[in-house]
Amino acid sequence: MITLKLLQSMYLFVIVAGAVALVILFYLRYLTNRAFKVQLRMVDANKACNYDIALFLPRVNDLVKVAEIQEIFYEISYGESTLSKPGSEKRRTITRKIARPDYSIDLGIVPISPRGYKRYIYMIIFETLFLLIEMDILMKIKVANEALLNFSKLQTFLLHDVKNVTQFIKGFIYNIERISGPEREHRFIEYLKESVPALTVRTDKILSTLEIGVEKDEEGDEQEVDVASLIKDLFALYDIKGEATGRGTIITQKHKMVTIFDNIIKNIREKSGREPGIESFAFVREETGAITVIIYDTGSPIKNIERMFEPFYTTKESGLGIGLFQARHITKKLGGNMTVANTNRGVEFTVSLPRGIISDNAEAPKAVVYAN
């Protein structure tokens, strides 16, 4: 009896308490939704700014105002950059500092109401913002370090070739001033003839390295290139035990063909340094309007072969990792394709190229002897 009476008197109280709890729940849900929306907007804004905090941070202030944050302030340093926005002289601030060898972040916020449940809302935003800033900086540092490393590798690679060409010129000038007698003159010319193919390969290599990524339409200078003969010459130039069979010609600028096959064959040469005695074979097949060239070596398979055409990917300590990238880039620009695979007989490159159209100014194939 007493219990029933008690329930009757509390009935109204339970309804009111339930209604209040529901209102609070809905309000909290509203606040949480708003916080998540702000989080998403910050992520989107960061993406829209291309993960550049210098662009992103000025946009944050407006975004966070709806999430119980009155103001943000910061002092951020990374690399040679410093971003700073001093905070106002308010007492109630929340700050967080981090100092690493490559960067430092000092981030602070001024909450609208620092106490109570709202604290959870602005702390979620604060932590998200801090994380985004740190990720952007780390990304920037990584990209910058990689770019610097690749630039330095590129510089070393180019310097080696440029220094040799400059030294060649110095030698040439010294010798030309001192040649005396027909016998020495004759020998000088013989040496120059020997030097021309190697010099052409080197200068083409310098130019094509400098032109990586530079899109340009070259016209003219096309000639009919005998691919098997070119491969034979490159085998001889690099002192590789190799055989090139089949027939196939292509109408294009010769230096492009030299760059494509030079990079493949140089790869084999480097491998033969580690694995003496390996042999190389090349087959050239002419089909309607196209040629297919298969080059393989009898050496061991290559790990991560699928990454071989990736720019700056190299397995060699002294490698630059652009040779094969460059070779495939040129092949594709010519409308062809290049693949590489570990097969039963060895590491196999397949190059397919359209034969090209013979223009009026195309030259006949030239016999060139490469010597090492």
Partner 1 sequence: METILLIEDDVALRAQVRFALEERFEVKEAANVQKAVHILNSERITLAILDLGLPPHENTPQEGLRLLHYILENFGLKVIIFTGQKTESAALESIKSGAFDYLVKPVSIEQLMFSVDRAILFRDTEEKLSRQGTARISFGVEVGKGLQPARDEAEKNIIFKVLKDTNFNVYKSAKLLGVKRESLYYFIKKFGFKREDIDDNP
Summarize as ranges the residues that interact with partner 1 (CB under 8 A). Answer: 156-157, 159-160, 163-164, 166-172, 174-175, 178, 184, 187-188, 191-192, 194-199, 202, 237, 239, 269-270, 273-274, 316-320, 371-372
> Based on CB atoms, which residue is closest to partner 1, 104 or 203?
203
Tell me how far, at minimum, the Cβ of 313 lies from partner 1, in Å.
16
Helix (H, G, I), strand (E, B) or coil at 315: coil
Tell me how far, at minimum, the Cβ of 197 lies from partner 1, in Å.
8
Tell me how far, at minimum, the Cβ of 188 lies from partner 1, in Å.
6
From residue 251, how far is each of 150, 224, 230 by CA, in Å? 34, 4, 13
Continuous segment of H or E residues that includes residue 146: helix 118-176
Q: Residue 154's CB: how many other CB atoms inside 10 A?
A: 17
Return all residues near 181 (Cβ < 8 A) that are at least 6 apart. Answer: none
**249 and 265 in contact (C-beta within 8 Å)?**
no
**261 and 232 in contact (C-beta within 8 Å)?**
no
> Based on CB atoms, which residue is closest to partner 1, 113 or 315?
315
Tell me how far, at minimum, the Cβ of 210 lies from partner 1, in Å.
17
Q: Which residues pair with 73 in a beta bridge?
A: 108
Tell me how far, at minimum, the Cβ of 153 lies from partner 1, in Å.
8
Tell me how far, at minimum, the Cβ of 142 lies from partner 1, in Å.
24
Q: Residue 152's CB: how many other CB atoms inside 10 A?
A: 10
> Based on CB atoms, which residue is closest to partner 1, 101 or 182?
182
Q: Let me know if 146 is exposed, middle or buried by CB neighbors in 10 A (0-12, 13-18, 19+).
A: exposed
> Based on CB atoms, which residue is closest to partner 1, 88 or 180?
180
Tell me how far, at minimum, the Cβ of 348 lies from partner 1, in Å.
21
**108 and 87 in contact (C-beta within 8 Å)?**
yes
**320 and 157 in contact (C-beta within 8 Å)?**
yes
> Based on CB atoms, which residue is closest to partner 1, 141 or 199?
199
Q: What are the structure tokens assigned to 3, written together? A: 């219990």
Q: φ and ψ at 75, to 5 degrees?
A: -145, 105
> Based on CB atoms, which residue is closest to partner 1, 104 or 195?
195
Q: What are the structure tokens assigned to 87, written together? A: 């905070």
From residue 186, how far is each of 167, 173, 176, 196, 276 by CA, in Å? 22, 17, 12, 16, 37
**368 and 233 in contact (C-beta within 8 Å)?**
yes
**74 and 105 in contact (C-beta within 8 Å)?**
yes
Tell me how far, at minimum, the Cβ of 335 lies from partner 1, in Å.
32
> Based on CB atoms, which residue is closest to partner 1, 307 or 316?
316
> Based on CB atoms, which residue is closest to partner 1, 197 or 356?
197
Tell me how far, at minimum, the Cβ of 361 lies from partner 1, in Å.
28
> Based on CB atoms, which residue is closest to partner 1, 85 or 153?
153
Token look-up 């309000």 returns 27
